[in-house]
Structure 1
Amino acid sequence: MKIFKNKLLPLSIVGIMAFSCTPKAEKVKAEFIDQNVAFASAQTLKMLESVGEPTGKNYPRTLDPEGKLVVTNMYDWTPGFFPGSLWYLYELTGDSTWRNQAAKWTESLEPLKTFTGHHDLGFMMYCSYGNAERLAPKPEYKDILIQSAQSLSSRYSDVTKCIKSWNYRKGWNDTTEWFYPVIIDNMMNLEMLFYASKVSGDKRYYDIAVSHANTTLKNHFRDDFSTYHVVDYDTITGVVKDQATCQGYSDNSTWSRGQAWAIYGYTMMYRETKDSSYLNAAIKATDFYLKNLPEDLVPLWDFNVGQEGFTPEGKSYAVEFKEKLRDASAAAVVCSGLFELGQLTNNKAYIDSATKMLKSLASPNYRATLGNNGNFILMHSVGSIPHKNEIDVPLTYADYYFLEALVRYKNLKQ
């Protein structure tokens, strides 16, 4: 397999470079965006036809092994992505049809504002209501988001200095017990806390987000800025008890979507705080990610799958899925995050990488054809191979971050 070697210019040099596009390049860009928006719109209309009106129990998530649509109720971690995708289609088209559909699906999630069962309230409410408040604000949206931030904050501990992701559960190998597990994914839920702090004036939400990010920066990153998926804390002392994986290949490997959450999350942290330690984390996590990519810039589901020194104990998938399954969802998350990181750092190399990723995802290798793929946009994502769940299927969050990346590409400041 050919490996993409990222050659980034020093920021001191890139910082004085001005982005420029010729009229021909602008035309090519516009045609690319228009073609992908047209496809996504047509495909999503078919999805709307298949799921009907929102019931609180029919949010698209993936396909089952027989190729049938899998939907969830609102208490799954993924229901905010479909409404969020509808908001991005409205942003990309200006068509009120998408605004009306997005509002309808978003408002069906209102009962979640008091949900405290797990940490994913940021995904659930900010991807939906956050985009609603940004694109078509209503007074009640702000109140719902503040209440959601309050609910998420209830999972924060002054002992551990971070937000508890899951409740008690066993580790991926069924022998480890986690009493205060925190996953790298949790970085994605902090943006809602920053929003709530701004609009409510309550600095506690800001402080919780910063505290969580600092604790994660300390305990989830290795020296090379690859990431652990799960860190378990002692509930009494706050000390780290375990650094492991749940959805990756092995405890010492790097699960590619976990690395993607870190890149996106610390880019957002720098945007909100201007703390250079977060920028450093985002850059170094990105550089690790980029130098380990295959030629088409869509990562393996885990960067170390099948490599010597990375062995999941007692799991058949060590052999069964040793070969090169890709995760388009990780690529979509990083693609969107890199557009922002490139803008924040004035780094053309990051912008170029993000653009190449977006075009790879939009190629026939990863983008579906109309009416196929369960009416999802992207193919070839991976949920959790250790649990033999959602393997090489479409995933609703892959579509969401692909559309967000398309928005960011369209809005890119030259």
Structure 2
Amino acid sequence: MNNKIKAFSIFITVLMLHSCGTNKKKVSGFDSTTVLDLNVSKTKETLKELKDVDGFARNIPKNKTNWELVGVKDWCSGFWPGFLWYTYEYSGDESIKKEAERFTAPIKSIAYSPARNHDIGFMIYNSFGNGYRLTGNKEYKDVLLAAADTLATLYNPKVGSILSWPTQKKYRHNTIIDNMMNLELLFWASKNGGDKNLYEIAESHAKVTMKNLLRPDGSLYHVGSFDEETGEFIKGVTHQGYADDSMWARGQSWGIYGFAMAYRETGNPDFMETSMKLADHFLKRLPEDGIPFWDFDDPKIPNAPKDASAAAIAACGMLELSKLVKDNALKDKYIDAARRFVEILSSEAYYSGDTNQALLLHSTGHHPNNSEIDVPIIYADYYFMEALLRLKNIEETKKNQELVKS
């Protein structure tokens, strides 16, 4: 397997150098199936060692080869089982399905515990949500509905948004851009037997975020601080970016994806416009090699760490956008941009090969805290798999359309 991965990485690197030299806009020759096959093989090898269902892959420290594990209450706990569900979705391998079920089960407790933060969506929707989508397991649906109700307890009607971090007092009622991604759980629940008020909560949160965290240039504040009694917006700040007015890469990608999803669920054209504005600004500011630094405004650039996870999330967001825009030129624009992200991430520079258990290298978690700097992080792998599956579906649809025409 190791030789296959090495050979593939070299092939992709050469292919990309050729395509970049001949046509920077169009990327040709990339095959998502080849990458997905390697990802499945690698995941099966990892599962031989990762057996503790109370431990969830989070990151791989420098000079280590195996995933560091976290407990069920960690905000990243849902990404590993979600990743396994994506791997099962592609492979149809029943052994991977069983592992996905095993690692999903312990997270159930989050749905029935008091809300500690907004990350309930990441934890439950990525695990039980993907599991329910692929199996129709009624128990999974019950957990999802309970989790949505739990998440909704953080909603402040005076502000009109969900409190992201109940324990973070210095920002008062704080709403972070990451929280846009957790709205999907509420939208889903409102359509699948949950309280219809969950829809209003999610829509209101998206509107408040759009109004206050979006800056005129198309970038975002990481955190919005609000008066919890009057609902007044106090200020926009950062927690994980370089500065309050800088453009934190992963936050920008959460916004691209989150507002595209909000448009899909509500049909509000302002959400679509916001997602496109964020995506276009993201693409405009990319460095020459196509993968963002952890923050677009870090003064140490080009000697600042990259964030592969931001590229993977942005790819998913742009593929979501491509399904929603009506104009064919815009569809192609966002598909091509996403495909280029995934191609670069599949190259020798970012694909880990036999270096360690992860798929991707070079992600950055919490730079100001000197935490998870330039290491593999599980959510990068999760969104990388999602982007690959989305691209594969696009490729298959295109082939089918061509067959019909012929």
State the TM bucket, normalised to the shorter chain. Answer: 0.7 to 0.9
- Give the whole-Å Cα distance in 1 for the aligned partners of 2:49 and 2:158: 47
Q: Deviations over 1:169-215 (max 9, x none)?
A: 36xxxxxx222221100000000101100011521110000000000
Q: Which residue of 2 aligns with 1:333?
A: 313
- 1:81-160 mapped onto 2 (5 Å cutoff): 81-115=79-113, 116-160=115-159
Q: Which runs of 4+ in 1 moved over 4 A?
A: none
- Structure 1 position 356 matched with structure 2 position 340: yes
Between 334-343 and 393-402, the greater mean CA deviation after superposition: 334-343
TM-superposed CA distance for 1:241, in Å, is 2.1
Aligned to 1:386, the other structure's residue is in SS state: helix
Moved more, 104-113 or 395-404: 104-113
Alpha-carbon distance in structure 2 between the residues aligned to 1:298 and 1:118: 30
- In structure 1, what is the equivalent of residue 285 of structure 2? 292
Residue 273 of structure 1, CA deviation: 1.1
Can you give the 5+ residue segments of structure 2 that lack an aligned partner in the other structure? 1-19, 399-406
In the other structure, the counterpart of 2:4 is: none
Aligned-partner Cα distance in 2 for 1:348–1:264 = 17
Q: Does residue 404 of structure 1 match 2:386?
A: yes
2:58 to 57, 61, 64: 61
Alignment of 1:366-377 (within 5 A): 366-370=350-354, 372-373=355-356, 375-377=357-359
Q: In structure 2, the residue corresponding to 1:391 is in which secondary structure?
A: coil
d(CA) in 1 for partners of 2:168, 2:235: 13
Task: Using the TM superposition, give the Cα deviation of residue 95 of structure 1 relative to its aligned residue in structure 2, in angstroms.
Answer: 1.5
**Cα distance between partner residues in 1 of 2:385 and 2:322:** 18
Q: Is the 8 A contact 1:247 1:384 kept in 2?
A: yes
Asked if residue 392 in structure 1 is aligned to residue 374 in structure 2, the reply is yes
Aligned Cα root-mean-square deviation (Å) = 1.8
Are residue 183 (structure 1) and residue 180 (structure 2) matched? no
Distance across 1 between alignment mates of 2:194 and 2:149:
13
Distance 1:89 1:292, change over 3 A: same
- The alpha-carbon deviation at position 325 of structure 1 amounts to 1.5
Aligned with 1:344 (options 319, 324, 333): 324
CA contact (8 A) 2:161 2:205 kept: yes
Structure 2 equivalent of residue 46 of structure 1: 45
Residue correspondences, number: 366
Structure 1 counterpart of 2:304, from 308, 312, 324: 324
1:72-104: CA deviation from partner (whole Å, max 9, x where unpaired):
101010010010111111111122122111111
Higher relative strand content? 1
Residue-by-residue CA offset, 1:31-66 (whole Å, 9 max, x unaligned): x22321222122222322232130x2x100002345
Structure 1's unaligned 5+ residue stretches are 10-20, 171-176, 307-318
Compute the TM-score of the two structures, normalised by the length of structure 2.
0.87
SS at match of 1:389: coil
Taking the TM superposition and a 5 Å limit, the aligned residue runs for 1:212-227 are 212-227=205-220
- Identity, % of aligned positions: 40
8 Å contact kept, 1:168–1:178: no
Does the 8 Å contact 2:145/2:194 carry over to 1? no
Q: Indicate the structure with greater helix content.
A: 2
